[in-house]
Structure formats: C-alpha cells, structure tokens
C-alpha cells in the first residue's frame, strides 16, 4: 500500500545543491556555488510554504487550466500576410543568407 | 486649462475646439518628464517622434479632416506591450535593444483611436515583482514619497499617472500587477476579465493569468480607454467572443440596491490598521450610496498564494524558454550553441526571474508535475468555485487592494515570500478570471495613498467601473502630489 496518494499531495523533499544544478540544467541556467546556495534556500523556503496545499483533499476535484469555457478555436487555413524575411531577421544577433546564424552545433 | 486635472473627455473637447493643440499637450507632458522623471524613473524609453506625430494631427485638424476620437491625446505603455518600431524591453537585459517588427492588438487599437505614445514604462522584469525593484534599468519610485516603491509590476504605469507624466497608461495584471501599484500610487487601475483584452503582443509571463488593463486618474478615463481595447481578436485563441461595449455609458453613478460582498478572509491578520480603517470607511460610503452589504466568505483564500506561485512560475518557466539568444535579444559570446544558451540566459535574466524559472522548472519536472502543478490546478478549481458561489449572492465584492501602503525601497527584497505577500488580496481574482479594480479611498498617517478593491464577475467591468465612479464623486481625493504640480 502506498503511504501517500502522490498525485494528490505535494512531496515533502528538501532540495539539495545537486538538485539545484539539475534544475538549472533543465532551465539552461548556471549558478556559482554561493548563488546556488541562495537559490536552494529560497526554493526550500517557498516550497515549504506551498506544502500548505496538503491541508486540502482534492481527490475528486478537476484541475482548472483555463478559467473561461473557451473551446478549440479554429480558423480557415488560408495564406495571410506575415513578416518578411528582413523583418524577421532584423533583431537577430547574427544572420547570414536569410537565416539565423548560431555557433557551431556539430564538432 | 488645467491639463493635469482634466479627464480625457475634457482634453478631447479642448483639442476639438482648438483651445489646445496636440503639440502643446504632448510638449506639456514631455516637459514634465524632463523635469520629474529623473527622480521618478518611470520611463524606460521616451518616443522621440511624439512631437512630430502631434504636429501631423494638428495639421490634419486644421484642414478639417475627420479624426478619431482621441486624436492627439498622449498615453504611455508598460514596456511589455509590443510596439512596432519602438523598443520593448520588459525591463530585462535579455531584451535590451529589441525593437519589435509588429505591434500588439491592444496597442494597435489605442493607436487607431488616435492616441500618441509618449513612451514605454518601467516594470518589474518580465512583470515578476511587486515593487518595481526587479527592473533592470529604471527602479521606479513612488511619486508620493520617492524613498518608497510604487508597487509592481506595473509600477511605472502607476507612477507615471500619479506624477502627471502621462494622462493614462496601459499596464498588465497577472496576480495584481495593475491593482496593487494603483493602490500604492493613489490612481485607479483595472484588470479586465481574462479573455476581454487580446493578449496578442503582450509579452507572456503566465498565459492563463495575464491580462492587459487601463490605469488613470478617474473611472471615466478608465471607461474610455477600456472601451477602445476590448475587442475579440482572432490572433489570440483565448480572446473572448463577446460584444464590444461602450463602458462610459455604464457610468450612471446610481448604485442603489447593488449587493456588495464583504469577504471576511480579506480583513484578518496582516492588514495594516490605516488600510483597514480607510477600506471600512469606503464600505460605509457605499452603504450611504444605497448599496446593501452582505457578509461573504471565500474559504480558500488562504491557499491562493501557494496555488498562484506554482501555476504562475510553471507557465513562466515555459514561456521564458524562448529567450535563447538565437532570434532576438541578448546573445553571449560562446564557442558552441549549448554554452551560448547558458551564458545568454544566465547573463540576461535578473535574480527574481531566475528564481521563478527555477521554481517553475522544478514543479513541472518529472516526478513533481502531478504533486505540484496538477495539485495547484485542482486548488485553483476550489478558489474559482468560491467566487462562483459568492457571485450568486452579490453583484460585486469589496476588499483592500494591498495589505499595506507603499513600503521603503529595499525593505522586502531579501525575503521572496514577504514580497509575494504584497499580492495576497489581488491574486485570487486572476485564478478565478474575473475583473477587478483598485480605486483610491484615502491616505495613511504618512500621507501615502490607499486603494479599495472592487471585484466583479466575468464581463462585469461596467458595474465595477460604475461603483468606482459613484465613489469618486463622493470622495474627490487628490491624484497628484502637491510638490509635483508645478
């Protein structure tokens, strides 16, 4: 038997420094050790506060992702004006031959 | 004429009768920005073409051409509203130098109505914050006391109105970002119903909560501005398909017989005594105006903050994935693509934005998604249900907009939860999706403004604007500090 209905409870775990670096990797961010410590403490404090939600039994409650009853919106699949190549590239840090240019991907 | 204390209606009449030219009007505000914005720090960018645009309108008017209703009237915009040809930074280093190639829908409507954009207003970076201290460029201060914060995240939009640096502004509200700074700066600001104003061209923070809204000095100005930006938009799939409304017609001042709900959860610990006193007096005023007061309960109020910060950060971490240094914005030098992502994002985002991306990434990550994100969405259902039940009994809800008046800069920056608590009275409404506004109702013992909040059901913008209008007629509070009137 499971001791926690996992889908209905926040998991009380403390975030470690390794967790911080793992999450940072997922988010493509990097933290120096002192910053990572601060982030770790902040996250643990905020997540601790969020455990308050465990007081509520939500087993039979449907989740709300959107407040209004808006259904899938469709439109005719017609060609419409869009940005020109020049406009789309105007803010590119680097562009070449009508493309965005990035540093080498494959060694 | 007394431009500072004129409504948009008075200003447009003066322009139409040629008592005032648009150039004079725009110059009046540009001069004030020159004089006061060094101290207030509201503007990220001032439109260098504003005078030319005003001259063009004046010459068209002289020729007798037909002009849109607000032709030549200045407005200023929160710097997360996409403006074609004018920088849009979201007060973030990652978007420094970004000039969008298109204009968002709400801004387009404002331009089509004839408004001239004075410039772009500072905000907490990517709308994350309650004090404007998370801005990368201009840390806007409160016009009533420049030692204090203006609130946030639409701090620039609120301060610009309060300092008389723009007659009206647009802001955005994800968890209180219009209503809380409106309260702290003594101006009126509204978050419309979710889906009411198109989000196309509003840089996304939390897509299921974000909404553009108007800020100004009077309910009448808010009604005028809201009527312009409320349109269905095919470019936003969450845009509500409802009729366009002229909200100025809703301002009758007659509120007799309306049922006002007073939620007990909004008057408990943490509410500053001066704020409580002013809001209690506002409630008494409504009773005098003929409203019926009804004690109500929104039982899940205490869970709103935790719910909000799970949902909002989850959505933010996903939305902010687009800032990668490839197509626009800041790019850091790096030898390979992966390092370029890491460096561009790490150098480009500020501390609070990183904190929220980290939190959002965590609650969405494998193993935690159900426990945090789905759990929060379920509690959101309960919070929404509280409001649905309440609005079966009452026409509107009255409560404080902020637990305190403006606090000193630096006072809450070290403790994220203390800062998050600034939005305790505003963020439930975003989870529900209805409309709400903060209207000035008094000052604390230090002379700092206090706002009272009116919350309405879905698409009831007209009724809460009318409630604010009726209240304003009785109170007539100063909107601009004495020392900024010169």
Determine the 3-state secondary structure of B360 from DSSP.
helix
Residue of A nearest to B312 (CA): A65
Q: What is the pLDDT of residues B43-72, one digit of tens each?
A: 999 999 999 999 999 999 999 999 999 999
Nearest by CB to residue B327, choosing from A6, A7, A91, is A91
Contact (Cβ atoms closer than 8 angstroms) between residue B158 and residue B196: no
Q: Are residues A67 and B303, on separate chains, in Cβ contact within 8 Å?
A: no
Q: How far is CA A64 from the centre of its chain?
A: 18
pLDDT at residue A71, as a whole number: 67
Domain spanning B3-298+385-484: which CATH class is it, in words?
alpha beta
Tell me the torsion sign for CA atoms A76, A80, A83, A85: positive
Q: How many CB atoms neighbour CB A2 within 10 A?
A: 5
Of B6, B21, B78, B227, the active-site residue reads: B78
Nearest of B485, B375, B448, B458 to residue B194 by alpha carbon: B458
| Cβ-Cβ contacts under 8 Å for B316 (sequence gap 6 or more) | B126, B128, B205, B206, B356, B357, B360
Residue B428 known to be catalytic: no
Contact (Cβ atoms closer than 8 angstroms) between residue B258 and residue B469: no
For B134-148, B236-250, B353-367, which range has the lowest pLDDT when averaged over its residues? B236-250
Q: What is the pLDDT of residues A37-93, one digit of tens each?
A: 999 999 999 999 999 999 999 999 999 988 887 667 788 899 988 999 999 999 999
Q: What is the pLDDT of residues B462-477, one digit of tens each?
A: 999 999 999 999 998 9
Number of A/B CB contacts below 8 angstroms equals: 170
Separation of alpha carbons B463 and B246, rounded Å: 12
Banded model confidence at residue B410, pLDDT cuts 50, 70, 90 = very high
Has residue A3 got a pLDDT over 50? Answer: no
Q: How many CB atoms neighbour CB B345 within 10 A?
A: 26
Separation of alpha carbons B278 and B404, rounded Å: 11
pLDDT at residue A2, as a whole number: 32
Has residue A1 got a pLDDT over 50? Answer: no
For A7-21, B134-148, B193-207, which range has the lowest pLDDT when averaged over its residues? A7-21
Nearest of B208, B141, B137, B205 to residue B171 by alpha carbon: B205
Is B1 at the interface with chain A, CB within 8 A?
no
Contact (Cβ atoms closer than 8 angstroms) between residue B362 and residue B229: no
Q: How far is CA B344 from the centre of its chain?
A: 29
Q: What is the pLDDT of residues B322-363, one digit of tens each?
A: 999 999 999 999 999 999 999 999 999 999 999 999 999 999
Looking up tokens 């929220």 gives B356
Using a CB-CB cut-off of 8 Å, the residues of chain B touching A63 are 374, 377-378, 380-381
pLDDT at residue A107, as a whole number: 67
Q: What is the pLDDT of residues B368-396, one digit of tens each?
A: 999 999 999 999 999 999 999 999 999 99
Determine the 3-state secondary structure of B428 from DSSP.
helix
Mode of pairing for the β-strands spanning B259-263 and B292-296: parallel
pLDDT at residue B242, as a whole number: 81
Banded model confidence at residue A12, pLDDT cuts 50, 70, 90 = low
Separation of alpha carbons B276 and B461, rounded Å: 25
pLDDT at residue A4, as a whole number: 39
Using a CB-CB cut-off of 8 Å, the residues of chain A touching B432 are 67
Separation of alpha carbons B343 and B346, rounded Å: 5
Q: Are residues A73 and B237, on separate chains, in Cβ contact within 8 Å?
A: yes
Determine the 3-state secondary structure of B212 from DSSP.
strand
Give CA separation, B467 vs B174, B371, B454, in Å.
23, 41, 8
Q: How many CB atoms neighbour CB A78 within 10 A?
A: 5
* Local structure of residue B197 (DSSP, 8 states): B
What residue ranges do the domains of chain A occupy?
6-54
Between A32 and B244, the more confident residue is A32
Is B336 at the interface with chain A, CB within 8 A?
yes
Quick one: tokens of B351?
A: 């501390």
Looking up tokens 């929060």 gives B376
**With a CB-CB cutoff of 8 Å, which residues 238-267 of chain B face chain A?**
238, 240
Has residue B311 got a pLDDT over 60? Answer: yes
For B69-83, B185-199, B403-417, B441-455, which range has the lowest pLDDT when averaged over its residues? B403-417
Contact (Cβ atoms closer than 8 angstroms) between residue B316 and residue B128: yes
pLDDT at residue A5, as a whole number: 43
Has residue B81 got a pLDDT over 70? Answer: yes
Q: What is the pLDDT of residues B435-460, one digit of tens each?
A: 999 999 999 999 999 999 999 999 99
**B46 bridge partner residues:** B119
Determine the 3-state secondary structure of B465 from DSSP.
helix
Quick one: tokens of B133?
A: 């201290």
Residue of A nearest to B325 (CA): A93
Of B122, B177, B183, B428, the active-site residue reads: B177
State the number of CA atoms in the 13 A half-sphere of B28 facing the CB.
20
| Cβ-Cβ contacts under 8 Å for B410 (sequence gap 6 or more) | B133
- This prediction's pTM: 0.96
Has residue B423 got a pLDDT over 50? Answer: yes
pLDDT at residue B433, as a whole number: 97
**With a CB-CB cutoff of 8 Å, which residues 17-46 of chain B face chain A?**
none
Q: How far is CA B396 from the centre of its chain?
A: 20
Is B93 exposed, middle or buried (CB count within 10 Å of its CB: 0-12, 13-18, 19+)?
middle
Tell me the torsion sign for CA atoms B115, B117, B122, B128: positive
Nearest by CB to residue B374, choosing from A27, A46, A63, is A63
Separation of alpha carbons B134 and B126, rounded Å: 9
pLDDT at residue A104, as a whole number: 85
pLDDT at residue B318, as a whole number: 97
Separation of alpha carbons B422 and B402, rounded Å: 6
For chain B, what is the mean pLDDT?
Answer: 96
Mode of pairing for the β-strands spanning B212-216 and B188-191: antiparallel
Quick one: tokens of A56?
A: 């509520």
Domain spanning A6-54: which CATH class is it, in words?
mainly alpha
User: How far does the CA of residue A2 sit from the closest CA of chain B (Å)?
Assistant: 15
| Cβ-Cβ contacts under 8 Å for B163 (sequence gap 6 or more) | B32, B36, B37, B40, B42, B143, B480, B481, B484
């Amino acid at each position: 038997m499971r001791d926690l209905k996992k889908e209905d409870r926040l998991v009380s775990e403390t975030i470690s420094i390794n967790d911080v670096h793992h999450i940072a990797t997922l988010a493509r961010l990097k933290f120096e050790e002192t910053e990572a410590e601060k982030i770790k403490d902040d996250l643990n404090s905020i997540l601790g506060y969020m455990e308050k939600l465990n007081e509520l039994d939500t087993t039979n409650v449907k989740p709300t992702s959107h407040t209004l009853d808006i259904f899938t919106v469709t439109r005719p699949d017609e060609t419409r004006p869009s940005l020109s190549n020049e406009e789309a590239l105007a803010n590119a840090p680097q562009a070449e031959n009508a493309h965005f240019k990035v540093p080498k991907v494959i060694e | 004429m007394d431009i500072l204390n004129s409504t948009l209606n008075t200003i447009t009449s003066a322009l139409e009768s040629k008592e005032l030219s648009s150039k004079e009007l725009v110059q009046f505000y540009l001069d004030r920005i020159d004089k006061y914005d060094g101290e207030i720090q509201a503007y990220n960018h001032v439109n260098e073409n504003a005078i030319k645009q005003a001259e063009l309108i004046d010459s068209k008017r002289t020729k007798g051409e037909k002009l849109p209703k607000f032709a030549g009237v200045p407005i200023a915009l929160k710097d997360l509203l996409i403006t074609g040809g004018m920088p849009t930074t979201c007060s973030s280093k990652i978007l420094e130098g970004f000039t969008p190639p298109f204009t968002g829908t709400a801004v387009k409507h404002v331009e089509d109505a004839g408004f001239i954009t004075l410039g772009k207003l500072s905000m907490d970076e990517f709308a994350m914050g309650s004090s404007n201290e998370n801005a990368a460029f201009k840390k806007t201060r409160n016009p009533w006391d420049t030692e204090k914060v203006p609130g946030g995240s639409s701090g620039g939009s609120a301060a610009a109105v309060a300092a008389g640096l723009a007659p009206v502004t647009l802001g955005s509200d994800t968890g209180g970002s219009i209503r809380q700074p409106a309260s702290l700066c003594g101006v009126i600001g509204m978050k419309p119903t979710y889906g009411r104003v198109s989000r196309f061209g509003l840089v996304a923070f939390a897509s299921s909560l974000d909404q553009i809204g108007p800020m100004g000095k009077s309910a009448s100005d808010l009604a005028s501005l809201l009527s312009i930006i409320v349109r269905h938009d095919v470019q936003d799939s969450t845009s509500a398909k409802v009729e366009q409304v002229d909200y100025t017609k809703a301002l009758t001042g007659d509120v007799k017989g309306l049922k006002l709900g007073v939620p007990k959860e909004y008057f408990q610990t943490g509410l500053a005594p001066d704020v409580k006193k002013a809001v209690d007096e506002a409630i008494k005023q409504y009773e005098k105006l003929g409203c019926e007061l009804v004690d109500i309960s929104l039982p899940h109020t205490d869970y709103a903050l935790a719910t909000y910060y799970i949902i909002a950060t989850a959505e933010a971490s996903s939305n902010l994935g687009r800032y990668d240094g490839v197509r626009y914005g800041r790019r850091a030098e790096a030898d390979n693509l992966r390092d370029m992502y890491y460096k561009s994002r790490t150098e480009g985002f500020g501390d609070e934005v990183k904190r929220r991306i980290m939190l959002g990434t965590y609650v969405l990550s494998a193993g935690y998604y159900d426990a945090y994100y789905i759990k929060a969405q379920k509690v959101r259902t309960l919070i929404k249900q509280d409001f649905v039940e309440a609005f079966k009994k009452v026409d509107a809800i009255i409560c404080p907009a902020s637990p305190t008046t403006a606090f000193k800069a630096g006072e809450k920056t070290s403790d994220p939860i203390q800062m998050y608590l600034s939005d305790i009275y505003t963020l439930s409404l975003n989870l529900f999706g209805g409309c709400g506004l903060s209207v000035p109702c008094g000052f604390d013992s230090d002379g700092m403004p206090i706002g009272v909040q009116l919350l309405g059901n879905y698409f009831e913008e007209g009724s809460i604007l009318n409630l604010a209008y009726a209240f304003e007629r009785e109170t007539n509070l100063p909107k601009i500090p004495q020392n900024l009137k010169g």
